[in-house]
Structure 1
Amino acid sequence: MFNETLRTTDVRRIAIVGSGIAGLTTAIKFKQQGHEVTVFEKSRGPGGRLAAKRVSNGSADIGAQYFTARNPDFLPFLSAFAGDSCFAPWRARLGFQSAEGQWQAFPNEHRYVGTPRMTAISRALSAHVKVVSGTRIERLVRAGENWLPFDDAGQPVGEFDQVIITAPPAQARELLARSNLPELAAQLNDAISRVLPCWAVAVHFDENPWPHHEGMRCTDPALYWVANNSSKPGRNSENKEGAGVWWVLHANAEWTERHIDTAPAKVAEELIAAFRALTGAKAAVTDTVTHRWLYARSEGGNNPGHLWFKGQGIGLAGDWLSGGRVEGAFDSASSLVSACAESATNQ
């Protein structure tokens, strides 16, 4: 399953833009095939939507809250390249609101989280490949049959046979447009319209404000999802008696769009008020951390799995191409690598 052999005698130099699950999966699978791979990440470290913020007594997951493993290859891949200690089942009581506002149980399904935080998975995966962090790829320039990626300082960062872009579709379109590839950029217009923003607020309460569920999908004018971060496995320092609990509140897309430029402190205030109205919580708030996701999750539309432009040597992968879930990033990367290998064999 993971010991794939190179299907062509050519060793390709491949640049990958973005170090979320899609980028790191692509990099590992290409490296297994014997190719030279470099991952470029604009932030200080890998992760993508597997994001966490440092808070008192530990960390809080502000991006993806959990992941499923419907693809039978996903968990074995994580075990092999991240290690079993980096993720664990989250045996949470999850609820959702009916149209009448009544709480109902989520369907039974195994759900997992990174331990001790979501970023543990991406950091472990990144150890298997070359990652150049703090480097934003601004444009691609043709050099014969190869590509020269340039950073935001105007400097080339290497020469590559192929470039794989795993950034959100809006950022991918901008990169392709700046690279004089308007036809490729235009193919992302629909996908961009389906990516939704989200304000996220991590809130520390002096005691658990809602003991009935650990996570809830809300039918609310402001809130989309709320979860007891301290209930997740590996958050031991946050579960000590008297330490209080951290909850994560995600605003829905409509509310976020209306408040896209609202000050973070005001966002926190309004989402906490919405949470109190939803649950009747009285516990005191002792700390907050706020983050704005401009590209949080993708909904609806066509899900081709990946995009591979063989003639240009450019591919795109990401959860937005395969259902929008964390697991979709792995599915997308896997299908792209297979398509690249097949096209190389057929040359």
Structure 2
Amino acid sequence: MFNQTFYPPVIRRIAIVGSGLTGLTAAIELKRHGHDVTVFEKSRGPGGRLAAKRVTGGSADVGAQYFTSRNPNFLPFLDKFAGSDSFAPWEGRFGFQTATGEWEPFPSETRFVGTPRMTAITRALSAHVRVVSETRVGTLARNDQYWALHDTAGNPLGDFDQVIITAPPAQAWDLLADSGLDELASHLDDPVTRVLPCWAVAAHFAVSPWPHHEGMRCQHPALFWVANNSSKPGRDDEGQWWVLHASPGWTEEHVDTPAEEVAERLLAAFQELTGFNAGPDEVVTHRWLYARSEGGEQPGHLWFPDDGLGLAGDWLSGGRVEGAFDSACGLVAEITGSAATQ
């Protein structure tokens, strides 16, 4: 026999701010490494940009419209932790409008959606981790041993060895600045300026207003994207729900316009685009102040080991839905010194 010294694995208490795809992926991966993870979510349930609004007869996806998979580990991760019944290919006809107004097909690529709504994915993922909902983290205070988190009312949320922020850059900047962490917040000065807003409108039509495509990238000054939400798998609607996303520039000009007026203007633009003049019988609106980021550096994630604090999100990894997964896995790999699920 020979002497062996056994060093038990270090179990860290880790707080994650935000329960979108990034936060839930990071939580699951860190839990797999044996860490004690708590996810804080300001809303009633998880989702982030994988968002849906309840409408008559079901729901309409008002956030990310679909996702693709180029990382060979992404779909297996979803299959294992969300379940194969939580997502499916969207076999739609997709077109983009040229500068001359002509329609051309999207490049051939499998596009997936959550079933029966985009939030089905994050709700399934959240079952594997501890999520504290309806709790907005207000401040982070660091001492020599841990981070002390408080909500916006000053109530303590616990002490943690490390913190991961997965909120959009503007909200992450606010949290760091409100915590007196100006040097860390300065790393987000440029990303904050690149955040684009988006008005979204879901409208129900008794008959199809456009028979040619299920998803369209538009050249209209007001419209960026239009989709037949009812054509997605798992939806069982009477009539059709269509989702309209305004262009970033138009949204910036109308970011404070009343929702009813926004809906009226975007529906008028939809009529111009399709030539369909019958109005919808139900309309739901949603304003995304932090819809997506454009341009800037894309390091994948940010990790400050001396502080025990990291940032992750699709805005750090290309902006696509899959980028949220890539960003989370990259950060976990750096924190744990492992390959993670990349």
Q: Deviations over 1:203-245 (max 9, x none)?
A: 0011110010000000111000000000000002x0xxxx211
1:116 deviation in Å?
A: 0.1
Q: 2:137 corresponds to which residue? A: 137
Letter in 2 for 1:218: C
Q: Name the amino acid aligned to 1:245.
A: Q
Structure 2's unaligned 5+ residue stretches are 1-6
The secondary structure found in structure 1 opposite 2:141 is strand
Q: 1:326 aligns with which of 303, 321, 324?
A: 321
Displacement, 1:301? 1.4
Structure 2 residue identity aligned to 1:51: A
1:312 aligns with 2:296: no
Aligned to 1:85: 85
Q: 2:240 aligns with which of 241, 245, 248?
A: 245
CA deviation after TM superposition for structure 1 residue 180, in Å: 1.6
* Alignment map for 1:1-347 (pairs within 5 Å): 9-236=9-236, 238=237, 243-342=238-337
- The 2-side partners of 1:301 and 1:153 are apart by 34
Alpha carbons 1:206, 1:285 under 8 Å: kept:
yes
Question: d(CA) in 2 for partners of 1:133 and 1:144?
Answer: 28
For 2:18 and 2:270, the matched residues in 1 are separated by: 34
Counterpart amino acid of residue 176 in structure 2: L
CA distance in 2, matches of 1:65, 1:298: 16
* SS of corresponding position for 2:265: helix
Counterpart residue identity of residue 113, structure 2:
V
String of CA shifts for 1:176-202, please: whole Å, max 9, x gaps. Answer: 111121111011011111110000000
Q: 1:224 to 1:80 in 2, by over 3 A?
A: same
Aligned-residue offset at 1:144: 2.6
Tell me the CA shift for residue 8 of structure 1: 7.6
Partner SS, residue 158 of structure 1: strand
Q: What's the counterpart of residue 3 of structure 1?
A: none
Q: Is the 8 A contact 1:207 1:284 kept in 2?
A: no
Task: Return the TM-score normalized by structure 1.
Answer: 0.94
Structure 1's unaligned 5+ residue stretches are 1-6
Instruction: Specify the SS of the correspondent of 1:72.
Output: coil
Work out the CA distance in 1 between the residues paired with 2:206 and 2:10: 59
One-letter code of the match for 1:330? F
Aligned length: 332
Tell me, in whole angstroms, the C-alpha distance in 1 between the residues paired with 2:317 and 2:190. 14
TM-superposed deviation, 1:288: 0.2
Kindly report structure 1 stretches of 4+ aligned residues shifted beyond 4 Å: none
User: 1:282 Cα shift?
Assistant: 2.5
Deviation, structure 1 residue 49: 0.3
Query: Do the aligned partners of residues 248 and 8 (structure 1) sit closer, same or farther apart at CA in structure 2, a change above 3 Å counting?
Result: farther
In 2, the alpha carbon distance for the partners of 1:282 and 1:211 equals 14
Partner-residue secondary structure (3-state), 2:213:
coil
- What is aligned with 2:3? none
Q: Which amino acid aligns with 1:118?
A: M
